[in-house]
Structure formats: structure tokens, C-alpha cells
Amino acid sequence: MVIYGVALLSFCMIAGVFFGELIGYLIGVDANVGGIGIAMLLLIFIANKNSKNLKIDNITKSGINFWNAMYIPIVVAMAAKQNVLAAISGGWMAITAGVLVVILSFLAIPFLYKFVKTKES
């Protein structure tokens, strides 16, 4: 049933966010540490287990795939609720820092990738 897929997704998210909060609490950080990442790993793990004893049928899958397909629309809504005004009114310092961070981080991506590739070979 479709709800099984949605419920499985919800279970993974709640479990992941819970562990993220727990890790944050244990290391004394006031933030969720990787909760969504843990939730994703949990879902991947369950989906890969699927073939053996636990069967996720196509209708159940459609409950997950619907939310997968809703990803871009949700991102569009997310863009529409950003505090763009505050970002721009942060002044030149905020703009300079933001622009430099983005440019230099983009430039660092190929370097890091090459570094990994040469280490592997």
C-alpha cells in the first residue's frame, strides 16, 4: 500500500533526526549532527536489504517515489521563502564574504577530486 512507503520514509526520517539530535547532545553541540544523512543511509540500507526477506512492492515504492518527485517543487517553494532581503541588506561585507566563499569553494572541487584520484591510482 502507498501508505507503507510513506510510513517507511517517515520512520527513516524520524529515526535519523532523533539520532542526529542525540549525537549533538552527546558531543555538546546545539545542532542536529547529520540527522538527515543518517536517515538517508537508513533508507538506502533498507532498500538494499529488500531483495532478501523484506519485500517492498511497487505500490509501496510509489509512496516513496512521489516524495522523490516532489523534491524540485519543494526546492522552488524553499527558494520563495528565503530571506533574500536580509541577505542583500547585509551590506558589502556580507556580499564580499559570500561571493568569495562560493568562488573559492567551487575552485577547490576539481583540486580535491584530482587529489583523490591520484591517491587511488
CB of 54: closest distance to another protein in angstroms? 14
Grid coordinates representing 48 are 538494499
Say how far apart CA 32 and CA 54 lie, in whole Å.
30
8: closest CA among 81, 73, 67, 91?
67
CB of 65: closest distance to another protein in angstroms? 7
Q: Which is nearer to another protein, 27 or 54 (CB)?
A: 27
Q: Is the dihedral of CA 38, 40, 43, 47 positive or negative?
A: negative
Q: Which is nearer to another protein, 59 or 87 (CB)?
A: 87
7: closest CA among 38, 33, 49, 43?
43
Single-letter amino acid, residue 31:
A
Q: Which is nearer to another protein, 53 or 110 (CB)?
A: 110
Q: Which is nearer to another protein, 53 or 95 (CB)?
A: 95
CB of 59: closest distance to another protein in angstroms? 14
